[in-house]
C-alpha cells in the first residue's frame, strides 16, 4: 500500500461534507488502495457536531482511513496537504447584498489561501466548492502565490452532471450515454450549459445532441433555464441546498484530477482563464471544457463557437469580471 495522503475538507460539520466524507474515506475518489488521513476543519461552535461526524467515520470501520483530525485551527488543518476541498463559506442570508456576501467570503478565502501558502505542499490540488465558488477560488489562488494557479479549480461539475442528466432523461437513455456537455463561465444563474459538442449514445451509435433530442427550441430555452436554476429549485423543494448531488460532483471532479478523464471525453471545471483561446478575459476562474492527464488539466481548445454560444459565454464572463473586481477591492482592506 502507498503512503497515506492528507485530504482536507472545510465546513466539515455541514450538510455537503456529511454526504461527501464517506465516499472519500471509502476509496471512491483517490483509489481503492490509497490510504487517507482526513483533516476536518470547521468553526469553533461546530466542533461538538464535528465530533459526532468523527465518531460515525470511526464506526464505519473503513480500511483506508488511517486518521481523522477534527480542528478549528488553520495551522493544523492545512499542514502538508495533498488535496484541499474547500466547502465551507459564508452563505447568503436573507436581505444580504451580493457585495456583502463577497466581502465576507473574501476574508475567509484570503485566510485559507494564506494558510495553503504557509502550510500545504506546493503540489496540493485545491477544489473550491463554497459559493461564490469561482471568485472564492480566485481569491484563494491569489493569496497563495507560490502554489501554481493550475492547482486551483472550482466546482462546476454539479452543473455539468445536471446538464448531462437532463439530456439523458429527454432521450430516455442512462446519463453515462451522454458525454461532452460543457458548462461555460460562472457557477451562478448566468452559466451557459452548452450541448453543441455533446454526443448521445442511442442504440449503440453516437448522435450529436441536437439530432438525438430533435427539439432545438427546448435545448436553447427550457433546458438552459432548468440547469441554470436547478440549485434554486432544489432549495425551494427541500428547504435546503443541494448536498447529495454536490458531494457526488465533488467526488467526480477530484477523481478525474487524480486518475484522468476517459479518452475522447471532456468535463467541465472552473479553472484559471489566462492563455485560453476562446476570448475569455484573463485572470478569471471560468468554467471550461477540460481533459485531464497526469493530474494536469488542459482546456479543450479547438471547439467551434457559434454566435448563440458566444453571447452567453460573454454574459457570464462580464458577471465574473464584476465579481472579481469587487472581491479584489476587498483584498487590499
329 within a domain of the structure (yes/no) = no
**Domain final residue pick, 86, 119, 154:** 154
The answer to whether 106 and 323 are in contact (CB under 8 A) is: no
Q: Both 171 and 247 in a single domain?
A: yes
Is the residue at 332 inside a domain? no
**Residue 157 is assigned to a ligand binding site:** no
Instruction: Give the pLDDT confidence score for residue 98 in this predicted structure.
Output: 77
Supply the pLDDT for residue 65.
Answer: 98
137 and 184 belong to one structural domain: no
For residue 75, the number of C-alpha atoms closer than 13 Å in the C-beta half-sphere is 0
pLDDT of residue 96: 76
Residue 51 located in a structural domain: yes
Question: To 10 degrees, what angle do helices 133-142 and 98-119 make?
Answer: 40
pLDDT of residue 97: 80
- 150 and 226 in a single domain? The answer is no
Q: Which of 136, 154, 172 is the last residue of a domain?
A: 154
- State the Cα–Cα distance between residues 49 and 201, nearest whole angstrom: 45
Whether residue 333 is contained in a domain is answered as no
Write out the three cell numbers for 148: 501554481
Structural domain count, the chain: 2
Alpha helix segments (H runs only) across the chain? 15-26, 47-59, 74-77, 98-119, 133-142, 157-171, 209-213, 216-220, 222-238, 244-259, 307-331
Label the pairing between strands 5-10 and 36-41: parallel
Residue 6 assigned ligand-binding role: no
- Please tell me whether 129 is known to bind a ligand: yes
Are 215 and 308 in the same domain?
Answer: yes
Domain-embedded: residue 16? yes
Residues 126 and 245 in one domain: no
Tens place of pLDDT for every residue, the chain, 333 residues? 789 999 999 999 999 999 999 999 999 999 999 999 999 999 999 999 999 999 999 999 999 999 999 999 999 999 999 999 999 998 877 777 878 889 999 999 999 999 999 999 999 999 999 999 999 999 999 999 999 999 999 999 999 999 999 999 999 999 999 999 999 999 999 999 999 999 999 999 999 999 999 999 999 999 999 999 999 999 999 999 999 999 999 999 999 999 999 999 999 999 999 999 999 999 999 999 999 999 999 999 899 999 999 999 999 999 999 999 999 999 877
255 a known binding residue? no
With contact defined as beta carbons under 8 Å apart, do 33 and 267 qualify? no
Which listed residue (160, 177, 187, 253) is catalytic? Answer: 187
Angle, CA 39 vertex, CA 36 and CA 40 arms, to 5°: 130
In this prediction, residue 332 carries a pLDDT of 79
Q: Is 136 annotated as a binding residue?
A: no
CA distance to 156, 166, 274, per residue, from 288 (Å): 9, 19, 12
Domain assignment present for 81: yes
Full domain range(s) for residue 74: 5-154
How many CA atoms lie within 13 Å of 284's alpha carbon, on the beta-carbon side? 27
* Confidence at residue 121, expressed as pLDDT on a 0 to 100 scale: 98
- Is 302 annotated to bind a ligand? Reply is no
Q: What's the pLDDT score for residue 263?
A: 94
Looking at residue 77, what is its pLDDT? 98
Residue written as cell 483533516?
39
99 within a domain of the structure (yes/no): yes
In eight-state DSSP terms, residue 47 is H
CA atoms within 13 A on the CB side of 14: 24
Residue 96: CATH number of its domain: 3.40.50.720
Same domain? For 161 and 306 the reply is: yes
What is the Cα–Cα distance from 80 to 91, expressed in whole angstroms?
28
pLDDT at 27: 98
- Domain assignment present for residue 289? The answer is yes
Confirm whether residue 92 is marked as ligand binding.
Answer: yes
- Residue 219 shares a structural domain with residue 285: yes
92, exposed or middle or buried, with CB in 10 Å at 0-12, 13-18, 19+? middle
The last residue of a domain, from among 154, 169, 198? 154
User: Do 219 and 272 have their domain in common?
Assistant: yes
Question: In terms of Cα–Cα distance, which of 239, 243, 231, 232 is closest to 13?
Answer: 243
> Do 99 and 62 touch, CB atoms closer than 8 A?
no
Same domain for 160 and 149: no
Q: Please confirm, yes or no, whether 253 is among the known catalytic residues.
A: no
Is there a single domain that holds both residue 87 and residue 11? yes
Same domain for 145 and 255, yes or no, is no
Residue 288's SS3 state is: strand
In DSSP terms, which residues pair with 126 in a beta bridge? 84, 152
Residue 221: CATH number of its domain? 3.90.110.10
Query: Does the annotation list 54 as a binding residue?
Result: no
Same-domain status, 60 and 134: yes
Between the CA of residue 174 and those of 170, 171, 188, what are the distances in Å? 10, 9, 26
What's the confidence (pLDDT) of residue 208?
98
Model pTM?
0.97
Amino acid at each position: 500500500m502507498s503512503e497515506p495522503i492528507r485530504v482536507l475538507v472545510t465546513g466539515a460539520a455541514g450538510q455537503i461534507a456529511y454526504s461527501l466524507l464517506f465516499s472519500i474515506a471509502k476509496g471512491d475518489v483517490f483509489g481503492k488502495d490509497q490510504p487517507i488521513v482526513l483533516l476536518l476543519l470547521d468553526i469553533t461552535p461546530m466542533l461538538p457536531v464535528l465530533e459526532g461526524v468523527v465518531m460515525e467515520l470511526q464506526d464505519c470501520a473503513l480500511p483506508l482511513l488511517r486518521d481523522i483530525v477534527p480542528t478549528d485551527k488553520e495551522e493544523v488543518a492545512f499542514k502538508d496537504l495533498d488535496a484541499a476541498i474547500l466547502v465551507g463559506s459564508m452563505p447568503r442570508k436573507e436581505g444580504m447584498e451580493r457585495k456583502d456576501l463577497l466581502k465576507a467570503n473574501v476574508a475567509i478565502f484570503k485566510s485559507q489561501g494564506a494558510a495553503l501558502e504557509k502550510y500545504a505542499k506546493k503540489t496540493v490540488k485545491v477544489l473550491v466548492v463554497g459559493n461564490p465558488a469561482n471568485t472564492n477560488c480566485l481569491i484563494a489562488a491569489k493569496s497563495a502565490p507560490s502554489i501554481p494557479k493550475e492547482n486551483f479549480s472550482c466546482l462546476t461539475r454539479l452543473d455539468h452532471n445536471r446538464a448531462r442528466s437532463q439530456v439523458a432523461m429527454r432521450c430516455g437513455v442512462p446519463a453515462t450515454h451522454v458525454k461532452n456537455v460543457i458548462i461555460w463561465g460562472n457557477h451562478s444563474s448566468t452559466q451557459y450549459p452548452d450541448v453543441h459538442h455533446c454526443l448521445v449514445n442511442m442504440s449503440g451509435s453516437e448522435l450529436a445532441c441536437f439530432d438525438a433530442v430533435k427539439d432545438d427550441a427546448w435545448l436553447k430555452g427550457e433546458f438552459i433555464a432548468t440547469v441554470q436554476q436547478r440549485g434554486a429549485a432544489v432549495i425551494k423543494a427541500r428547504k435546503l441546498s443541494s448536498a447529495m448531488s454536490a458531494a457526488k460532483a465533488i467526488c467526480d471532479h477530484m477523481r478525474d484530477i487524480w486518475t484522468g478523464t476517459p479518452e475522447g471525453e471532456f468535463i467541465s471545471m472552473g479553472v484559471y482563464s489566462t492563455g485560453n483561446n476562446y476570448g475569455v478575459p484573463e485572470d478569471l476562474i471560468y468554467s471550461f471544457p477540460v481533459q485531464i492527464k497526469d493530474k494536469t488539466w488542459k482546456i479543450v481548445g479547438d471547439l467551434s463557437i457559434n454566435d448563440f454560444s458566444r453571447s452567453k459565454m460573454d454574459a457570464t464572463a462580464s458577471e465574473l469580471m464584476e465579481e472579481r473586481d469587487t472581491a479584489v477591492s476587498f483584498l487590499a482592506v
